[in-house]
Amino acid sequence: MAEFYRKRLPHWQPIEGTFFITYRLAGSIPMEKIRQLKKMPDRKIFKNSKLLRNAWYFRCSDRFMDSNPNGPYWLAKKEIAEIIFQSLLFNNGKHYDLHAFCIMSNHVHVLLTARKGAPQLFRMMQTHKSFTAVMANRILGRSGKFWELESYDHLVRNSLSFQRILRYILNNPVKARLVQRWQDWPNSWVSSELERIAC
């Protein structure tokens, strides 16, 4: 059985599925850039495949976030990154099995498997984002929208895809030229049983 819900985009979330999730700060991609990204290349392959179209959009937006000169960069603050870090670990082993995550300055990548009986994935993300937004805004002395409402979630279908995504998440700071080795990034985490695969 699977859960399906729709906000701006359709989301297919099988119960006990393994997911690659990316969520970002509000305003981290200007509306002008979003409109530009949504003008997909006029290719038959994109017209006939929502999966490829979404993958293309994700790659372009993720590349932009890594090089975004406009901010906000609230997650670069150590105390805010720590709130996100601890919040993700809080439900590990309860609602999900956490495999890896990486907190960048304006977005977060997560790889997890939902546990049997856990809340729907989008409910778990709502709770996490709501709590961390309140705590982070308190530190920043601000109010208002902290996270972008929509998250990107991708169902991981096989072990090869799992390994590729794991490396993608951990190497995000390397790709962004922030560190030379993923192990040097302070806001990354990987489960002990996966450290060998990640190297």
Class of domain 2-198 (CATH, top level): alpha beta
Span 94-151, pLDDT tens digits: 999 999 999 999 999 999 999 999 999 989 999 999 999 999 999 999 999 999 988 8
Q: Does residue 6 have a pLDDT over 70? A: no
CB 115 within 8 Å of CB 97 = yes
**Predicted local distance difference test score (pLDDT) of residue 9:** 46
pTM: 0.81
Where b means 16+ CB within 10 Å and e means fewer, 116-140 reads: eebbebbebbeebbeebbebbbeee
- What is the pLDDT averaged over residues 65-77? 79
- Residue boundaries of the structural domains of the chain: 2-198
CB 161 within 8 Å of CB 57 = no
- What is the pLDDT averaged over residues 185-190? 97
